[in-house]
Structure 1
């Protein structure tokens, strides 16, 4: 795993030292000697992680970090402050500015590389989600960057796993000022609790009695329902080696005892903000996929999805020797509904029509809006006789009750014509099946509408 690291420091010797350490681990290293140069490089998306010095002449590291984290183009880039400042107030100031970590000089090679590798994994995952979500902007969805920048990281749901009462009572009291806290003192129950609780953050003590806290972290990363929940580990200072191991297996951040109240809250907020941002990205990806295959007005699948999925259903039916029924439905005189009542009324009819279609078919059946007022229903493992009964039931459902339009102020009569056929011949082209159903539909309309016409292969 490699990444491009931007080292920002105004002292050439410090830059050379970090560059040598990182290059030895096969990271691609870039350098900047001041904040202005660093902001310019980051804005061009030329780095994956930024190692940022605090004490610089033109613009200190706190201000550089703050600008990076408030810019939609750069806020997702992990920032690690590397500085000689070691007081809790300086560390908390860096975390409040949005830094992902705060390492005090001199930084050991092991700690530095472990942190960079951990953040590289995080950045790569986020980049993949961001790339997949790009299309969501093209179809009108709101980009998550603005809300992520405005998010204070408060109001999260946190599960604290700690079996020392004095410890978890103090931590829970601190965290409760900004979040909803559940405490699980029994580590053997913690994974089940985490999987069921829909948490934004897991805080795990690595000093559990008779239980390996790292094993719990590893299990959380292996379980689908907790895989993406950030983990903040807490350990004694002498357990630094185990913490580094934790970063390798997926722990997102850590704290050493004694725990500073402000730092705990700051690190929790950082992890919760990141969780919400990545969740938003995933939601955008899922929504863009759904919008690509769904008709926005009726909520049924669209023609694009039908054409691709129908071929799969037909192939499965042929290979298994099972029947496959297909019907094309057309709302009778739909143009006159639009002409006489307006297009809003036509939309009301289409939406209600889709509701009645769903009620009349099985979960395994495929219902699609084919175009305009035409719809297609595909029924796997259904012969012509059974499909005819379904079609007739649907026809009666449409004709038997008037459709409410204009917010229920008017009700109009609606009927449909249905053309029905089945896939009977092994390997028959889907286009031929659709054409046969369309021919049956034409006959239904020609013979007076409001009827079902079947046409066997």
Structure 2
């Protein structure tokens, strides 16, 4: 794994030392001697992680970190403070400023490389979601939320895995002031709890009596439902080797006993904030994908989705020797509705038709707005007699009750014409089936409308 690491330090000897260590591990290293230069490099999106000295003239590391985390362009960049300060109060101050971790001078080479790799891996994942989210905004899907909106507002949901009563009671009591805490003393049960619960952070003691805490970390990372949940290790000062192994497995953060209460609160807050931020990015991407394949007016799938998904349904039906039916539906004389009562009334009719259509289909059926007043319904595992019965039921539900438009001020009689085609030939394609359904629809309209016509092929 390679990445662009920005080393920020006003002492050239310190910069050169870190640069040599990182270059030996094939990282690309950039340097800055002061805060403003560091901010400029980060804002230009030239780095993946920042190693930031605290004690610098002018703008110190705390202020640089605060500015990075307050800027939407740089909030996602991990920041590791590299400092001679080793008091818990200093770490809390840095964490409150938004730092992801601390390395104390002189820096241990293994700890440095492991921590950089761990945070870069996390950033690569976040970058993927950010890129997709930006793509969604570029094509017109707004996302007005800022990173500060996820600063652990409301209580976080934490699973604490520890079998030492004196330990978990103290931690739970402190955490409960700001979060909802679930304590689990059985590591095996903890895995099930994590998979079934909606936790935003899992805290795991490495001092479990009869179980390897790293095994639980590995299991959490291997399960789809818990892969994205942050993990924070609670470790002993002498257990450095296992801690580094945990970071390599994907652990997000750690606390070393004896635990400083303020540092614990700051680290949990940071992890929950990041979890909510990445969840938002992921949800926004999902929403963008849904909007891209959904008709905004009716809520049905759009033609783009039909063209991609119909091919899959046809292929599956052929491979499994199953039947498949396609309905092409057209609202009769719809242009007259728009011309006489206005486009708002026409929109009301389309929305109400979509509602009645959905109500009369199965969950496996696919309903799409093909364009204008034309709709397509694809019904897997449906023979001709059932397809005709469904089409007739939809036709009757449309014709049998007037459509209310203009806020219910007017009721309109609406009918539909339906063309039906079956997957009869194993050399059929989505295009040929749609074409035959369209020809059947044309026959229904030619024969007087408000009827169902099945393709004769």
Please indicate the TM-score interval, normalised by the length of the shorter structure. over 0.9
Find the counterpart in structure 1 of residue 55 from structure 2.
55
TM-score by length of structure 1 reads 0.96
Assess if the C-alpha contact under 8 Å between 1:83 and 1:105 holds in 2.
yes
Deviation string for 1:21-73 (max 9, x for gaps)? Answer: 11111111111111111111111111100000011112100111111111111
Distance 2:309 2:382 in 1: 17
Q: Distance in 2 between matches of 1:383 and 1:152?
A: 55
Partner of 1:241: 241
**In structure 1, C-alpha distance between the alignment counterparts of 2:332 and 2:135, rounded to whole Å:** 37
Q: How many Å separate the matches in 2 of 1:84 and 1:431?
A: 69
Aligned equivalents of 1:346, 1:143: Cα separation in 2: 30
Give the alignment of 1:80-119 within 5 angstroms: 80-119=80-119
Q: Which residue of 2 aligns with 1:130?
A: 130
| 1:26-45 alignment, distance < 5 Å | 26-45=26-45
Distance 1:290 1:127 in 2: 21
**Structure 2 contact 150–274 (Cα < 8 Å) conserved:** no
Secondary structure of the residue that 2:295 maps to in structure 1? coil
Q: Unmatched 5+ residue regions in structure 1?
A: none
Aligned residues of 1:148 and 1:276 also touching (Cα < 8 A): no
TM superposition shift of 1:409? 4.1
The worse-fitting range, judged by mean Cα deviation, of 317-326 and 283-292 is 317-326
* Deviation by residue 1:300-344 (Cα, 9 ceiling, x = unmatched): 111111122222323333344433221111111222323333323
CA distance in 2, matches of 1:315, 1:244: 49
Which stretch has the larger CA shift, 221-230 or 161-170? 161-170
166 and 409 in structure 1: CA distance in 2 versus 1, 3 angstrom threshold: farther
1:447 aligns with 2:427: no
Could you say which residue in structure 2 is the equivalent of 1:191? 191
Of 228-237 and 380-389, more deviation after overlay is shown by 380-389
Counterpart for residue 412 of structure 1? 412
- Give the Cα separation in 2 of the matches to 1:359 and 1:207: 56
Quote the Cα distance in structure 2 between the aligned partners of 1:433 and 1:344: 33
Q: TM-score, normalised by structure 2?
A: 0.96
The answer for the alignment partner of 2:150 in structure 1 is 151
User: Conserved in 2, the CA contact under 8 Å of 1:231 and 1:252?
Assistant: yes
Q: Out of 41-50 and 422-431, give the one that drifted further.
A: 422-431
CA distance in 2, matches of 1:257, 1:204: 13
Instruction: Please show how residues 259-408 of structure 1 align to structure 2 within 5 Å.
Output: 259-408=259-408
Report Cα offsets for 1:231-274 as digits up to 9, x if no partner.
11111111121111110111100000111111111101110111
Contact 1:221 1:250 survives alignment (8 Å):
yes
**1:289 Cα deviation after fit:** 1.3
In the TM superposition, what are the counterparts of 1:211-250 in structure 2 within 5 Å? Answer: 211-250=211-250
Runs of 4+ in structure 1 off by over 4 angstroms are: none
Distance 1:188 1:344 in 2: 59
Q: Secondary structure of 1:301's match?
A: coil
